[in-house]
Amino acid sequence: MRSALGTRDTIGQAKGLLMQRCGVDAARAFVMLRTLSQDLNVTVARIAERIVEDHTASL
């Protein structure tokens, strides 16, 4: 259960970053995450982790 909540939070953070960087709404940001996930054959959670990690590293 805690893992699922952490994953949900990370996906939310990634969506927020995409919304800010790309000027899209929440629905479009999730579509972007999902499309990357499908194209790269990586889970949405892992894509979200990378986006958040890259943002944190650039601070």
Tell me which residue range forms the domain holding 35: 2-57
Is residue 4 over pLDDT 90? no
Please, how many CA atoms are within 13 Å of residue 57, restricted to the half-sphere of its CB?
6
Model pTM? Answer: 0.88
Here the CATH number for the domain that contains residue 39 is 1.10.10.10
pLDDT of residue 56: 93
Is residue 23 over pLDDT 90? yes
pLDDT of residue 45: 97
**Structural domains of the chain, count:** 1
